[in-house]
Chains A and B, each alone.
Chain A
């Protein structure tokens, strides 16, 4: 621990030496959109004003501390007011403030102008992942943290993008105005990508919007910025900015994928196939609450291992997963998963019914789910 401490001090010292190269370690991230750049410049401007005030005010204080001490033989004068001085130092700050407010006002007004967007994406906050819907293109997908648990638990070394990497990034074209509409499914989240200069709370039951226009292709990372429960720190946002051509091909690729994944309940699935698929769905949708062990979190999330609902008649669990659990007219943290396909729901239920202590040996077929939807 001590050697680690020493190391970190050494590192800190090295930083100050290598200041310009590592500027992004202690300043805002390098801006990648007009708004981000305006914010960056505003911040720089204000910092310089502050440094100026700091030097004047604490210069005076330091002078007094050094020169007007009793031990230096200074005798106290007894003045205690001076109207002119007091008026002057009330008025001057006013003008400084106006100098700061002016550029800020301009930026606020342009931040708010979401008109004329070429791509509109709805970002929905879930506990604890993001869902994206490309409104014109009709593409929808979820975006989960892709950092393996072993890295978080320190069993394997951490990757470069530890905790700021996802399975499905948001893909957008460079140089085009992108409007992000935010909402949420459960509690308030906040969609934040520092390099693009946007942060917008996503509020259940309400929609808000914001926009960005990325200067150039690249991968920009952010995180949920509003405390949203236990895995708040584990629901990152990754925006992949690509050229408009690549964007167009990505869109058509996604559309094909969506068509292929459309519900297909006719097919027969074996128990093992469903279990294998279900394990993935579980890891992507359920594990945060019900835990990898299936034991849940006492007092908050029930165990599925040994649960009467999971091991009981199929319909019980299908209902829970499709509709969520509503208690006393209020939705609980167990929300509806009806946006998953029939196959996926069948798979995850089969998985829970045949894993941990649960050994029903039965499958739940996609057709069962389809039937329950009606």
Chain B
């Protein structure tokens, strides 16, 4: 929609597109349109996944079974995870890449514009398969988002739909990544050396390589489950000579880099926001780049820290423990650099900066619990408990999601040419922050005290903390409606018009463009000094 305003306003229709209305969105090859599509898609899936989360939190409000049968409860946890990871977080970051990468490196569009369209339009297909799987006999897959075999071999047809959805969404990610890498490597404006690229672009370049490396691994894992289910193979069936643990190795070889796929672009966004509102250049730019690359490389040799309880030999446990602990070093460097960027700056706290600071704070908390979990003996105690649930929601919700919110508030005025409602944005931040912690902080305690995850019911000893978590979850869910309201209000043109630069401390090519940017930008490449 915002791009439509831009388009009309600047009369670039002639070389843009020939359709209007719905067909325009279906056939578009414009990076801004496609970025918008990705972001709306991700927002929709965020609410679908959020609804599932609230349904399962409702069941956990008090001990006993109130709302759902255990099998349906397991479907809820599984689909909440799959939808949030593959439908919300990942597409949202690709949406940012689409909008921002060309504008930040001075390119006119993405390298493969038609493939870009195709990578987006695969996503709704995958999403429909996932959501539809609730309605087939036996319901959606209930094997957890990790779909461990042989439990996943037992599932009904919902599992097959999920497998196809993963194939399709994986293909979309791979195409998106090829596009992003090609764009970044080939289409930078003259003078934009690699080591001059904005950090967001750097983090996406590295993320895209990770995606290309691991999405095929996931595809392989789920295909093996599929053939075990239907075509008589025995990859994971011990009775036929297979090995159930093999699935976990393959899955986590994908799964661990995947968690960095979901956080590195978030690091990138935060690294754009913090300098802007500190009115000071990013501290340690090159160490940020090296830290990102080290995290990406290390992410390939830590996968079995998700599997400390399968019974690996001691040397393997030691290796994976040491490798995992090493990741703390580059991650620490990032946090120190952000704080050094704020140090002696001239700080203001508009909504994007609030989310960035919130990100640094809660992400670090998740990092700390990650360090606790890296210690093998402690992990053996905490693996598959609510402590782990707390840990990954601290890095994923408060980490990735807060970075996404921050990025939206940061660039939205550029995209639509109007300011969002700052007061409501701040409300959105504070309510999200508070309710997030009410929801997830108690889970550290229940996990330590011995509550396993993925159970629909629990002993009374955990009742109070679970009740608090459920209240927090509903509060968090409601707070997100403010976000939608702020977006709708801003997009409908309620806010003030903004300048090209939008933020006093902003720096970078995108801020040299008009707000909103015309439909086609940088048709003649800018010169970067």
Binary CB contact string for chain A from 81 to 122 against chain B (1 if under 8 A, 0 otherwise): 110011001100110010011001101110110000000000
- A47: CB under 8 A from chain B? yes
Bound form: Cα–Cα A162–B154 in Å? 29
Q: Which residues of A contact B360 (CB under 8 A)?
A: 61
Binary CB contact string for chain B from 428 to 445 against chain A (1 if under 8 A, 0 otherwise): 000000000000000011
Bound form: Cα–Cα A94–B286 in Å? 20
A231–B70 touching, CB < 8 Å: yes
A299–B137 touching, CB < 8 Å: yes
Min CB–CB distance A322 → chain B (angstroms) = 17
Contact of A76 among B151, B239, B279, B325 (CB under 8 A): B279
Known contacts being A11-B464, A93-B328, is A223 close to B455, with CB within 8 Å? Answer: yes
- B113: CB under 8 A from chain A? no
Interface residues in B72-117 (C-beta closer than 8 Å to A):
74
Q: Which residues of B contact A194 (CB under 8 A)?
A: 381, 450
From A36-44, A132-140, A241-249, A267-275, give the one contacting chain B: A36-44
Contact of B309 among A43, A58, A199 (CB under 8 A): A199
Known contacts being A54-B368, A108-B317, A229-B142, is A26 close to B449, with CB within 8 Å? Answer: yes
Interface residues in A12-40 (C-beta closer than 8 Å to B):
12, 15, 24-29, 35-36, 38-39
- B243: CB under 8 A from chain A? yes
- A266: CB under 8 A from chain B? no
A208–B311 touching, CB < 8 Å: yes
- A186: CB under 8 A from chain B? yes
B449–A233 touching, CB < 8 Å: no
Q: Which residues of A contact B151 (CB under 8 A)?
A: 187-188, 227-229
B63–A158 touching, CB < 8 Å: yes
A97–B346 touching, CB < 8 Å: no
B339–A60 touching, CB < 8 Å: yes
Known contacts being A64-B345, A70-B348, A229-B142, is A204 close to B377, with CB within 8 Å? Answer: no
- B527: CB under 8 A from chain A? no
Binary CB contact string for chain B from 331 to 359 against chain A (1 if under 8 A, 0 otherwise): 01101100111111111110000000100
Bound form: Cα–Cα A187–B144 in Å? 13
B384–A225 touching, CB < 8 Å: yes
Contact of B467 among A5, A182, A223 (CB under 8 A): A5
Interface residues in B141-173 (C-beta closer than 8 Å to A):
142-144, 148, 150-151, 153-154, 156
Min CB–CB distance A126 → chain B (angstroms) = 13
Min CB–CB distance B382 → chain A (angstroms) = 8
Residue on B nearest A333 in the bound complex, by CB: B154
A111–B347 touching, CB < 8 Å: no
Q: Which residues of B contact A223 (CB under 8 A)?
A: 450, 452, 455
Residue on A nearest B247 in the bound complex, by CB: A188
A108–B376 touching, CB < 8 Å: yes
Interface residues in A45-59 (C-beta closer than 8 Å to B):
46-47, 50, 53-54, 57-58
B329–A38 touching, CB < 8 Å: no
Known contacts being A61-B339, A201-B311, A233-B456, is A227 close to B148, with CB within 8 Å? Answer: yes
**Interface size class, chain B:** 35 or more
B244–A75 touching, CB < 8 Å: no
A330–B237 touching, CB < 8 Å: yes
Q: Which residues of A contact B40 (CB under 8 A)?
A: none
Contact of A43 among B74, B148, B325, B378 (CB under 8 A): B378
Q: Which residues of A contact B309 (CB under 8 A)?
A: 190, 199-201, 225-226
Contact of B285 among A81, A151, A154 (CB under 8 A): A81
A300–B71 touching, CB < 8 Å: yes
Question: What is the count of residue pairs linking A and B with beta-carbon distances less than 8 angstroms?
Answer: 312
Q: Which residues of B contact A163 (CB under 8 A)?
A: 63, 457-459
- B298: CB under 8 A from chain A? no
A104–B70 touching, CB < 8 Å: no
A152–B336 touching, CB < 8 Å: no
Bound form: Cα–Cα A112–B198 in Å? 48
Bound form: Cα–Cα A226–B344 in Å? 49
**Interface size class, chain A:** 35 or more
Q: Which residues of B contact A29 (CB under 8 A)?
A: 449-450
Min CB–CB distance B388 → chain A (angstroms) = 11
- A253: CB under 8 A from chain B? no
Q: Which residues of A contact B23 (CB under 8 A)?
A: none
Residue on B nearest A45 in the bound complex, by CB: B375
- B280: CB under 8 A from chain A? yes
B377–A57 touching, CB < 8 Å: no
Min CB–CB distance A117 → chain B (angstroms) = 16
Please indicate which of the listed interface residues B313, B318, B340, B458 has the most CB atoms of chain A within 10 Å of its own CB: B340
A232–B74 touching, CB < 8 Å: yes
B377–A205 touching, CB < 8 Å: no
- A294: CB under 8 A from chain B? no
- A366: CB under 8 A from chain B? no
A69–B348 touching, CB < 8 Å: yes
Known contacts being A76-B344, A161-B459, A225-B383, is A5 close to B471, with CB within 8 Å? Answer: yes
- A278: CB under 8 A from chain B? no
Q: Which residues of A contact B459 (CB under 8 A)?
A: 161-164
Bound form: Cα–Cα A208–B326 in Å? 29
Q: Which residues of B contact A39 (CB under 8 A)?
A: 377-378, 380-381
Contact of A162 among B63, B311, B378, B450 (CB under 8 A): B63
Interface residues in A164-197 (C-beta closer than 8 Å to B):
164, 182, 186-188, 190, 192, 194, 197
Q: Which residues of B contact A154 (CB under 8 A)?
A: 64-66
Q: Which residues of B contact A42 (CB under 8 A)?
A: 375, 377-378
Bound form: Cα–Cα A299–B283 in Å? 58
Bound form: Cα–Cα A107–B65 in Å? 39
Q: Which residues of B contact A329 (CB under 8 A)?
A: 232, 240
The 4 nearest A-B residue pairs measured at CB:
A205-B238, A233-B455, A208-B311, A299-B138
**A-B contact list, 19 entries, CB within 8 Å:** A36-B381, A38-B377, A39-B380, A46-B371, A53-B368, A54-B368, A68-B343, A70-B279, A76-B278, A82-B284, A162-B63, A187-B244, A201-B309, A225-B309, A229-B142, A232-B70, A232-B74, A298-B137, A331-B239
What residues make up the interface of A, taking CB atoms closer than 8 Å to B? 4-5, 8-9, 11-12, 15, 24-29, 35-36, 38-39, 42-43, 46-47, 50, 53-54, 57-58, 60-61, 64-65, 68-71, 74-82, 85-86, 89-90, 93-94, 97, 100-101, 104-105, 107-109, 111-112, 151-154, 158, 160-164, 182, 186-188, 190, 192, 194, 197-201, 203-206, 208-210, 222-234, 297-300, 328-331, 333
6 more contacts with CB within 8 A, not counting A101-B325, A187-B154, are A26-B445, A42-B377, A65-B342, A112-B317, A205-B243, A206-B243
